[in-house]
Amino acid sequence: MNLAIVSLAIQLDRAYTNFFEGRAKHPTFKSKHRNHDSFAVPQCWRIDRKFVFLPKIGEVSWKKHRHIEGTPKHLTVTQDGDRWFCSVNCEVEIQDPVAPDGPFVGIDLGLKNLAVLSDGTVIENPGHLKKREKKLKREQRRLSRKVKGSKNRERQKKRLQAVHRKIRDARRDFLHKITHRLVESYGGFSVESLNISGMLKNHRLAKSISDVGWGEFGRQLSYKSEWNGNTIVEIGRFFPSSKMCSVCGWIKDDLKLSDRNWVCGGCDATHDRDLNASLNIEAEGLKIATATGCPSGSEAATTAGLAGSHACGEEGSGQRHAAGETGLDEAGKIHLASGRSVFQIAHAVR
């Protein structure tokens, strides 16, 4: 069969699966102006030390970014600005993860700080976009002055794409380091499921919300927890984590976004907004974990009759949203992973 058709069929299948399971929008045709382009090569490709052999294209020289382990399955070629990347999907047999013994923490995501953990740890928001905003604006301004359809405009477009790429790569790299550190040092997490696409409709906050990368943080934390054996519980979207006093449960209805500290009307306790929220998220997460029989935190060590990985909550951002809408019962579903093959992706750049 024609290779291009096979590749398209695989992608279409994936697109429709994602659509029907509520993770993505209905598939659309590719645009010739879109700057992120890719195609899959399911077979007849091979890599040696110097070249990637692609059917109908031939030899392409490459630069190795990561060692390829396991059995290579298929290859995807993607374009990012003026660069081309090859990702190799490999099948690797991995051991069933052993649940780590670290403490169970609640995580409150924010804008000033990326995350505040219920043990008091604060992860600052590095503000990747903010750092390069000036440069980005300059390159955008230059682009707007170039004549449409001209060579100069094309060149400028690539320069602008390079700035965007730099921001995106820095953000992703930072999040990878943070989530790696988290799954290594803690046993389990309780996180809020956030309605990010809804929040982005608030134009005053949209830029900051996209810059901090909550969605990517949640995605990475969720799959790394599953691989590593950490417990992860998701709290419903309507849980009043910020408004509730973590000591007595009193609810402050008139809490504003600008209130960083507040005093409880029930027990006079003074709260740091984010720390209080993370404590509530931790407590709620423990409650859900206990109700669903999912071992978590210190209890994990004692009740872990089930060996292997335990991940509460659901996978995939779309499903998470659905869980948030239907309430807490849904959010606490248990997912047990066992005997899986994990795909590792290696990148090569031309």
Q: Which residues are catalytic?
A: 108, 192, 274
Q: Report the site for Zn ion in 268-287 (rule: CB under 5 A).
A: 269
| Least CB distance to Zn ion at residue 235 (A) | 20
Shortest distance (Å) from residue 329 CB to Zn ion: 27
Beta carbons within 8 Å of 133's beta carbon, 6+ residues apart: none
In this structure, what token pair is assigned to residue 192? 């809020």
267 touches Zn ion by CB under 5 A: yes
What's the CA gap between 170 and 176, in Å, rounded?
A: 10
120 vs 266 by CB, closer to Zn ion: 266
Contact 195, 321 (CB under 8 A): yes
CB of 271 to Zn ion, least distance (A): 8
CB nearer to Zn ion: give 19 or 250. Answer: 250
- Near Zn ion in 233-262, by CB under 5 A: 245, 247-248, 250
CB of 269 to Zn ion, least distance (A): 5
The H-or-E segment that residue 320 falls in is helix 317-326
Q: How many residues bind Zn ion (CB under 5 A)?
A: 8
- Other CB atoms closer than 10 Å to residue 257's CB: what's the count? 9
| Binding of residue 266 to Zn ion (CB under 5 A) | yes
Enter the tokens of residue 337.
Answer: 């992973």
> Is 27 or 265 the residue whose CB approaches Zn ion more closely?
265
What is the rounded CA–CA span in Å between residue 350 and residue 232? 38
Report CA torsion sign: 125, 128, 132, 134: negative
Cβ proximity to Zn ion: between 112 and 243 the closer is: 243
Separation in Å, CA 117 to CA 2, 188, 191, 274, 338: 52, 12, 10, 8, 29
Q: Structure tokens of 345?
A: 């992706």
Q: According to the binding rule CB under 5 A, does residue 22 interact with Zn ion?
A: no
Give the residues lining the site for Zn ion (CB under 5 A). Answer: 245, 247-248, 250, 264, 266-267, 269
